[in-house]
């Protein structure tokens, strides 16, 4: 794959990444902004995500949701937005001949959204329903409980969606302030990938984003990690299945061992022939879904296994997962197993990168979060360098009792029954 991306930084700090690819007929425009739930104070927790919803409620040019989305629907375009802890993104993917429409649309919602009081109040109902959906879906809710267990009452431990009370109380002026303090050319990356001409795209973006705010943005609170013994969070709910996340604190995305950590996660639970899938699901039938992997942010990182298990057999599932953690730190993986994980990462990455929107995301997210872009070849080269000894060293470092965490949702009121299990 040719690495012909180009990064252009405008005088106001706006970064543009163009990734031309003549082998596709599509183009994707992604605007990525360096703000999310980790940038919020407690009193406005959930505002990044709420703001993302409000960008679809109309601009001066497209005054209603219908008028805003109809032009893209008419050409069969795909479009959406997403909010994480450290970024918020807006994107449109179109037949490349409609690039102007996509740029006009994305720049318009970023710069000219109206945030009308009546639309804010209406959208509150939608977001409260979104919260209820997550609360009713243990597989999703457990992800938030896991973060809360690790980071508690700091931004990293709060929900991206916020709380019901904050969402109900939030006012228009808080959106305007937040936009002013967190949306700027200084923390925005615009990536355009697909069948496009680099020079033309850069000039068009300059034109469409002329009015972007260029003031300094507020930074996020740094995460405090505090743990001296295994920690457990049990959320009582009458369920037919116990949903759990069991794992350890690990490394952030700047750590020199981040590639070894990714491979370790893949070997443990990255595919259907992984160690956890075989030992928990295939050999014992304890779970339908079981996976494991490394999650890394700029200032936090974990390696975590997720599973939905039989309520009667939770103990056995936990013991089996911990046993796999222990085994991989005590006995070196084989060269064959290491190579399989590397090939899996390479293959799935290449398949994923075929789409223009995936290319835009690959480059933009690196630039935004790390201020450095590694090409696919460079990334795969670093994965290739990881050795058997690296895997064992990392496993020994992270699989320790004082780094263990277990969050679960199920019909249990007593967390003491799990305390005695958390040994490694």
Return the active site residues. Answer: 52
The residue behind tokens 């939030």 is: 170
| Residue 137 burial (C-beta neighbours within 10 Å; 0-12, 13-18, 19+) | exposed
CA 369-375-378 angle, 5° bins: 105
Q: How many CB atoms lie within 10 A of CB 308?
A: 21
Alpha-carbon distances of 175 from 36, 48, 335, 391, rounded to whole Å = 13, 9, 53, 46
Helix (H, G, I), strand (E, B), or coil: what is residue 88?
Answer: strand
**Residues linked to residue 295 through DSSP beta bridges, in sequence order:** 302
DSSP element (H, E) containing 79:
strand 78-83
Radius of gyration of the chain (CA): 23
Strands 188-194 and 78-83: unpaired
Dig out the tokens for 300 from the structure.
């936090």
Helix (H, G, I), strand (E, B), or coil: what is residue 160?
Answer: coil
Sheet holding 88-95, edge to edge: 6-9, 15-20, 188-194, 26-33, 88-95, 78-83
Dig out the tokens for 32 from the structure.
């990525």
Sheet holding 301-310, edge to edge: 231-236, 404-410, 241-249, 301-310, 287-296
112: Cα separation from own chain's centroid: 26
Dig out the tokens for 3 from the structure.
């690495």
Three-class SS of 308-348: EEEHHHHHHHHHHHHHHHHHHHHCCCCHHHHHHHHHHHHHH
User: Rounded CA gap, 182 and 217, in Å?
Assistant: 5
Q: How many CB atoms lie within 10 A of CB 219?
A: 9
């Amino acid at each position: 794959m040719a690495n012909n991306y180009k990064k252009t930084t405008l005088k106001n700090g706006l970064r543009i990444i163009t990734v031309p690819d003549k082998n596709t007929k599509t183009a994707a425009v992604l605007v990525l902004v360096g703000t999310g739930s980790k940038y919020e104070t407690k009193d406005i927790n959930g505002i990044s995500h709420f703001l993302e919803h409000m960008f679809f409620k109309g601009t001066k040019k497209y005054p209603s949701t219908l008028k805003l989305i109809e032009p893209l629907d008419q050409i069969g375009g795909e479009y959406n937005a997403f909010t994480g802890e450290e970024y918020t993104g807006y994107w449109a993917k179109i037949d490349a001949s409609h690039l102007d429409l996509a740029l006009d649309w994305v720049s318009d919602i970023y710069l000219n959204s109206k945030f009308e009081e009546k639309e804010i109040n209406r959208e509150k109902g939608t977001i409260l329903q979104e919260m209820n959906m997550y609360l009713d879906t243990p597989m999703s809710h457990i992800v938030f409980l896991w973060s809360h267990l690790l980071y508690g009452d700091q931004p990293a431990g709060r929900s991206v969606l916020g709380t019901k009370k904050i969402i109900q109380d939030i006012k228009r002026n808080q959106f305007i302030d937040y936009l002013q303090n967190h949306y700027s050319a200084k923390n925005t990356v615009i990536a355009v990938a697909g069948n496009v001409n680099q020079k033309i795209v850069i000039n068009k973006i300059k034109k469409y984003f002329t009015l972007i705010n260029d003031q300094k943005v507020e930074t996020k609170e740094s995460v405090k990690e505090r743990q001296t013994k295994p920690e457990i969070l049990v959320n009582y709910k009458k369920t037919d299945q116990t949903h759990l996340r069991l794992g350890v604190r690990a490394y952030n995305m700047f750590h020199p061992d981040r590639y070894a950590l990714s491979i370790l996660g893949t070997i443990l639970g990255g595919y259907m022939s992984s160690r956890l899938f075989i030992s928990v699901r295939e050999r014992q039938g304890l779970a339908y879904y079981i996976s494991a992997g490394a999650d890394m942010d700029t200032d936090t990182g974990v390696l975590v296994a997720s599973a939905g298990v039989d309520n009667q057999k939770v103990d056995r599932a936990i013991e089996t997962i911990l046993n796999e953690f222990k085994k991989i730190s005590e006995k070196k993986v084989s060269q064959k197993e290491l190579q399989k994980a590397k090939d899996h990462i390479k293959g799935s990455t290449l398949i994923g990168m075929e789409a223009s929107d995936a290319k835009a995301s690959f480059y933009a997210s690196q630039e935004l979060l790390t201020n450095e872009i590694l090409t696919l070849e460079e990334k795969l080269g670093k994965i290739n360098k990881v050795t058997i000894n690296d895997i064992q060293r990392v496993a020994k470092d992270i699989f320790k009792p004082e780094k263990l965490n277990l969050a679960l949702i199920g019909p249990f009121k007593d967390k003491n029954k799990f305390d005695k299990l958390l040994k490694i």
